[in-house]
A and B are shown apart, each in its own frame.
Chain A
Amino acid sequence: MKRSSVIVLLSALLLVSLVSLAAGEGLLDEVKKRGVVRIGIGNATPPMNYIDEKGVWTGFDVDLGDEIAKRLGVKVERVLVDNKTRIAFLANRSIDISLANISVTNSRQEQMDYAEPPYFWTGKIFYAKKGKFKSLKDLGGKKIGVDQGSNAFIAAPQELAKHSDKKPEMLSFQNSAEGFLALKQGKIDAYSQDAPIMAAVSGSLGAEYEAVAGMIYSPGLYGIGVPENDSDWRDRISFILQDMLEDGTYEKLYLKWFGPKGTFPMSVNSRPRLSDTYGDMLFVWPD
């Protein structure tokens, strides 16, 4: 009798200890005290974060996260997030930093803050078979695929409404790779995602596809997500990022992944910078 009640008590304790209540202090102190920073990273969006052929979790976000943890002087704990949880987990403080190709948008600003500046500058394209569509006008009324949780679900119909009266049909997939497969098989007419992601996902098949009209229609400036209303923590991460930009660490990482000899060579410059190619779009966050 006694032993069984001990087991019950122990299991109850186990459950309670799993339900560790978050402390009310600032996140910076909490992380320092904990000695571990929890970074939310995805695993289905090459080149930013993905599982490679050997099963290793890698990507630009992963390396950047490791570097941030190193500079904070704490260990890194990678928490797997996806397009839907990368913001929800920040809001409920399951993670301290969200590094999962999050484009800065207006609606997300209400849920989370970003470290300054956005660490990767790219933009959304409509990706389709070469020569199938001449301009965005042709995409009206067509089937457009997006990632579930991507802001392209809002941005793409908004953009297409400017060019055509016909409403596009939106399908949302669990990740870009599934969406690209659907695009390849003709289940959708175009896929809307950030340019480097589409390039990496399509891999060797990229030659058969192109961005419709060769244009970026909505800026995708990736920010490092931090919980809302914790300016100490946000500033600390911002300064770390800015230090990295200044002392060349960022450049080294960037070249490792996107340089001419990198894993995913990229001709377009995606480093954070002052406005040049983006023109007016730069400081207008999408919805």
Chain B
Amino acid sequence: MKFLNLRYDFDWGIPFREPYVGWLITGVELTFLIAAVTTVLSLLAGTVLAVLRTTRFKFLNIPAKIYVETVRNIPGLFWLLFFYFIFPQMLPFGLTDVLNRYTYYSVVAGILGLTVDNSAYVSDIVRTGLLSVPRGRIEAAVSTGLNRFQQIRYIILPDAFRAILPPLGTRMIHNFKNSSLCMAIAAPELTWATQQVESITFRGLEVTLLATAFYIGISLFLAILMIRLERFLKIDVTSMTQMRN
């Protein structure tokens, strides 16, 4: 294949040869695992943080605010390195060794780091949603005799989640893409696998093409899924933005 002075002969056998194919498959699995677990964890953590931030009790909302402000202003990569190298050393004796000896600690650290990073953004989004629930809905809930927990559980959160679904979806796609950062801490996810193939065979173009296609495909798939979900939940996107044509 020669065009544009291309100094590269494609060998499409490489991605399908042992052991490279094994690395790539593990990489895809781990990428999915990291993305799925961090999505669930950061949704939970973000929601809790957002609820804490909207309460009136200072001893609850100030720590939550400090957490969010700290995490949001520091890059995700820092949190990955922090959880890989620093966090186990801070634990009381015994736990340090347990974590460090664990073979897949890099994956655990990746999940922890990305969750911490993502939860702050999720909490921001959820908080916006909570604040956007009309006062009247809450008053109506109070008047039907629901207690505070029931109000949050049955009225405010469902309403808020519907309103924030679009930005939340974008955030989760971000999170999926961010899983590639885990290669910095030796977690054998997909981007790491492509680099590993490159470093052994010196031919990384094929695998990187495949990996890029994979990321684009999954991201677009998730984006379309979110649109379907929004339609299913009858969120009128057009009414939320100013549209003139």
**Chains A, B in direct contact (C-beta < 8 Å):** yes
A interface residues, Cβ below 8 angstroms from B? 21-22, 83-84, 87-88, 91-93, 108, 111, 143, 145, 148-149, 153-154, 169, 171-174, 178, 181-182, 185-187
Whole-angstrom distance between the Cβ of B205 and the nearest chain A Cβ: 10
Residue pair A92, B199 in contact (C-beta under 8 Å): no
The one of A87, A93, A185, A186 in contact with B85, judged by C-beta atoms closer than 8 angstroms, is: A185
Q: How far is the CB of B28 from chain A (nearest CB, A)?
A: 18
**What are 19 sample pairs from A and B whose C-beta atoms fall under 8 A apart?**
A84-B199, A148-B195, A148-B199, A149-B199, A169-B103, A171-B106, A172-B199, A174-B183, A174-B184, A174-B186, A178-B186, A182-B85, A182-B186, A185-B85, A185-B89, A185-B96, A185-B100, A186-B100, A187-B101
In the bound complex, residues from chain B placing their C-beta under 8 Å from that of A83 are: 199
Is B32 at the interface (CB under 8 A from chain A)?
no
Contacts of B85 in A (CB 8 A): 178, 181-182, 185
Q: By the criterion CB–CB under 8 Å, are A88 and B204 in contact?
A: yes
- Residues of chain B with a CB closer than 8 A to A154's CB: 200
Provide the bound-state CA to CA distance between A92 and B202, in Å: 11
A146 to B184, alpha carbons, bound, how many Å?
A: 14
**B97 contacts the other chain (CB 8 A):** yes
Cα-based distance from A91 to B203 in the complex (angstroms): 10
Q: Which residues of B contact A181 (CB under 8 A)?
A: 85
Alpha-carbon distance between A166 and B117 when the two chains are bound, in angstroms: 39
Report the nearest A residue to B200, measured CB to CB. A153
Q: In the complex, which residues of chain A have a beta carbon less than 8 angstroms from the beta carbon of B196?
A: 148, 172
Residues of B within 8 A of A182 (CB): 85, 186
Interface size class of B (residues with CB under 8 A): 20 to 34
Considering the complex, which residues of chain B in the window 184-198 have a beta carbon less than 8 Å from any beta carbon of chain A?
184, 186, 192, 195-196, 198
Q: Report Cα–Cα, A22/B88, bound state, in Å.
A: 50
Using Cβ atoms and an 8 Å threshold, which residues of chain B touch A174? 183-184, 186
Tally of A-B Cβ pairs under 8 angstroms: 54
Q: Which residues of A contact B184 (CB under 8 A)?
A: 174
B135 interfacial by beta-carbon distance below 8 Å: no
In the complex the two chains form, is B204's CB within 8 Å of A172's CB? no
Residue of A nearest to B205 (CB): A88
CA distance A173 to B198 in the complex (A): 14
A88 in complex: contacting residue of B5, B105, B106, B198, CB < 8 Å = B198
Residues on A with beta carbons closer than 8 Å to the beta carbon of B5: 21-22
Kindly list chain A residues whose C-beta atoms are within 8 Å of the C-beta of B204.
88
Least CB distance from B124 to A in Å reads: 31
Shortest B227–chain A CB gap in Å is: 34
Tell me the complex Cα distance, A21–B4, Å. Answer: 9
A87 to B202, CA, bound (A): 7
CB distance from A111 to the nearest CB of B (A): 5
A88:B202 contact, CB within 8 angstroms: yes
**B186 and A173 contacting across the interface, CB-CB below 8 Å:** yes
Closest CB of chain B to A231's CB: distance in Å?
19
- Option from B7, B89, B202 in Cβ contact (under 8 Å) with A93: B7
In this complex, the member of A22, A83, A148 whose beta carbon has the largest number of chain B beta carbons within 10 angstroms is A148
Chain B residues within 8 Å of A108, by CB: 202
Complex formed: what's the CA distance from A145 to B204 in Å?
A: 22
Interface residue from A84, A111, A171, A186 paired with B186 (Cβ < 8 Å): A171
Q: Are A186 and B101 in contact (CB under 8 A)?
A: yes
Q: Which of B35-68 contact A (CB under 8 A)?
A: none
By a CB distance below 8 angstroms, the chain A residues around B200 are 153-154
Is the Cβ of B199 less than 8 Å from the Cβ of A143? no
Q: Taking the nearest CB of chain B, how far is it from the CB of A282, in angstroms?
A: 25
6 tightest Cβ-Cβ pairs between the two chains A and B = A149-B199, A186-B100, A84-B199, A187-B100, A185-B100, A111-B202
